[in-house]
DNA sequence: GATAACACTTGATGTAAATCAATTGCTATT
DNA sequence: AATAGCAATTGATTTACATCAAGTGTTATC
């Protein structure tokens, strides 16, 4: 499935054939079965991960045992706790697969070296970062200004593909509402 | 006040004296009086802004006339709608000063050129972006997992300096709660 | 020094969403 | 085919927070 990664790279930056090989060659493919962890709370994250197949999520579990989902990642998305990778501090997040999945792992060291040695890679990563930031800003805005129903509608607009793949209870968690509330909200929407 | 900007640059990157001048020379100092807009909803944002003095905020106003504050920026922070600047689309945000302030403006064109011509600048900006992203992630996490009181305590931990400068009603808005709720939450906290 | 203009507090009431609990479907496994 | 194990729905109840409405205190403004 390294081909998925290469295709992605081609679409995202101006790589020479040589650079492309260089980037792809440091990636290590790993299968992650449904419910299997990629990283657990307390671990120091060592790898950036690119999803070639399946779907994963980043989340925490609070004292009451409730899961709070921070992010999903499907094919052609990156996932990983940048904070932990960069600082070397233990991660506060869990990452696991919610479908049988496959990721391309790149170790921090190799990733950092790529950023230096392959300008196209560096630019690509910074572009992604920029985009991720804007998405995050936007999501913050939904939290401070929208009702449960509006949050869900906004989610549908932006991530309808996720809506079809991810259990409702997880979408609720991602939106910061309960599964019951989401169920009722959906009923309301359909009714109109 | 361009000195504030130069001092900041020195602390944030490995600039040669020449590069430092180059960066500083493209910045245009602008005074922004309290309540004066830097950008308004509907405008296409043209400049990145670095705050050399004072305090500004990014916010929206909903149909009911309620303000939702997305960000504050004080001395040594950047502010501006990256999305609008990059895409050329009208901004959905208002930015105004909540104290008499002063900013260093850098136009999109000059900013982009600096990113290309001054590697230290590019690296610095990407570092800031990375940090901004992590802060945003963190804030999202507070929204999906904390109560009003916990959100405020978390805010205090991270931004106590802002707490002293910004009206409570605006902090409430930033936290996605009402001013009344914040007032009661504070009373609770003091009581213990 | 009176008056306005905010910023914050406090109380009464309303409501969206959470919680608790039971039921109905699925699909997965034996 | 029976059983277990989730995922979603639905109803009853509670609660955290919002809303509405007066108040008080503090700082500007004429």
User: Residue B178: which nucleotide is closest by CA–C1'?
Assistant: D18
Per the CB < 8 A criterion, the answer to whether A42 and A103 are in contact is no
Is B72 within the bounds of a domain?
yes
Is A46 within the bounds of a domain?
yes
We report the CATH number of the domain holding residue A73 as 2.60.120.10
Is A173 within the bounds of a domain?
no
Asked whether residue B139 carries a pLDDT value surpassing 80, the answer given is yes
Asked whether residue B192 carries a pLDDT value surpassing 80, the answer given is no
Residues 6+ apart with CB under 8 A from A178: A172
**pLDDT (average), residues A23-33:** 96
Tell me the CA end-to-end span of chain B in Å, nearest whole number: 43
Instruction: Evaluate if the CB of B148 falls below 7 Å from strand D.
Output: yes
Q: Indicate the pLDDT class of residue A76, thresholds 50, 70 and 90.
A: very high
Is A102 within the bounds of a domain?
yes
Is A39 within the bounds of a domain?
yes
Distance CA B52, CA B55 (A): 9
**pLDDT (average), residues B8-15:** 96
Q: Indicate the pLDDT class of residue A116, thresholds 50, 70 and 90.
A: very high
Residues 6+ apart with CB under 8 A from B62: A145, B68
Asked whether residue A165 carries a pLDDT value surpassing 90, the answer given is yes
Per the CB < 8 A criterion, the answer to whether A85 and A46 are in contact is yes
What is the extent of the structural domain holding A32?
2-117
Is A124 within the bounds of a domain?
no
Instruction: Evaluate if the CB of A187 falls below 7 Å from strand D.
Output: yes
Per the CB < 8 A criterion, the answer to whether A13 and A123 are in contact is yes
Residue closest to sugar C1' of D9 by CA: A183
Counting the structural domains of chain A, the total is 1
Is the Cβ of A155 closer than 8 Å to some Cβ of chain B?
no
Is B79 within the bounds of a domain?
yes
Please tell me which of the candidates B82, B140, B175 has its beta carbon nearest to residue A139: B140
Is A132 within the bounds of a domain?
no
């Amino acid at each position: 499935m390294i081909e998925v990664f290469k295709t992605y790279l081609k679409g995202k930056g101006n790589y020479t054939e040589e650079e492309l090989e260089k980037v792809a060659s440091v990636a290590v493919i790993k299968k992650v079965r449904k419910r299997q962890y990629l990283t657990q709370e307390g671990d120091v994250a060592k790898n950036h991960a690119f999803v070639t197949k399946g779907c994963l999520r980043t989340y925490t579990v609070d004292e009451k045992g409730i899961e709070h989902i921070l992010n999903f990642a499907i094919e052609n998305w990156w996932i990983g706790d940048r904070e932990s990778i960069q600082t070397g501090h233990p991660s506060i997040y869990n990452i696991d697969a919610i479908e049988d999945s496959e990721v391309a792992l790149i170790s921090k060291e190799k990733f950092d070296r790529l950023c230096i040695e392959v300008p196209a890679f560096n630019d690509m990563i910074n572009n992604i970062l920029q985009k991720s930031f804007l998405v995050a800003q936007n999501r913050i805005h939904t939290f401070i200004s929208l009702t449960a129903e509006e949050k869900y509608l906004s989610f549908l607009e932006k991530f309808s593909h996720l809506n079809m793949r991810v259990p409702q209870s997880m979408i609720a968690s991602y939106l910061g509402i309960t599964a019951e509330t989401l169920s009722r909200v959906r009923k309301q929407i359909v009714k109109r």
